[in-house]
Amino acid sequence: MHPEAMAWASAAVGGRSFSRVIELGARDVNGTVRDLFTADTYIGVDIAEGPEVDVVCDAADYRPDEPVDLVITTEMLEHAPRAPEIPAAVFAMLRPGGLFVGTAAGPGRPAHSAIDGKTLQPGEHYANIHPTDLTTWLVAAGFVDVEVDQQRRPADVRWIACRPG
Q: Map out the domains of the chain with their CATH numbers.
A: 3-72+91-162 (3.40.50.150)
Percent of all residues in the chain with a pLDDT value above 70, rounded to a whole number: 99
CA 21 to chain centre: 12
d(C-alpha 19, C-alpha 31), whole Å = 22
Asked if residue 36 lies in contact with residue 64, where contact means CB atoms within 8 angstroms, the answer is: no
pLDDT band of residue 152 (cuts 50, 70, 90) is: confident
Looking at per-residue pLDDT, the higher value among 3 and 95 belongs to 95
pTM of the predicted model as reported, rounded to 2 decimal places:
0.94
d(C-alpha 44, C-alpha 28), whole Å = 10
Q: For 41, phi and psi rounded to 5 degrees? A: -130, 130
Q: What is the pLDDT of residue 141?
A: 98
* Beta bridge mates, 149: 158
Q: What is the pLDDT of residue 153?
A: 83
pLDDT digits (tens, 9 = 90+) for 22-63: 999 999 888 889 988 889 999 999 999 999 999 999 999 999
d(C-alpha 56, C-alpha 39), whole Å = 20
CA 43 to chain centre: 13
Q: Is 80 exceeded by the pLDDT of residue 1? A: no
pLDDT digits (tens, 9 = 90+) for 98-113: 999 999 999 988 888 8
Q: What is the pLDDT of residue 114?
A: 85
- Residue 3: is it exposed, middle or buried by C-beta count within 10 angstroms (0-12/13-18/19+)? exposed
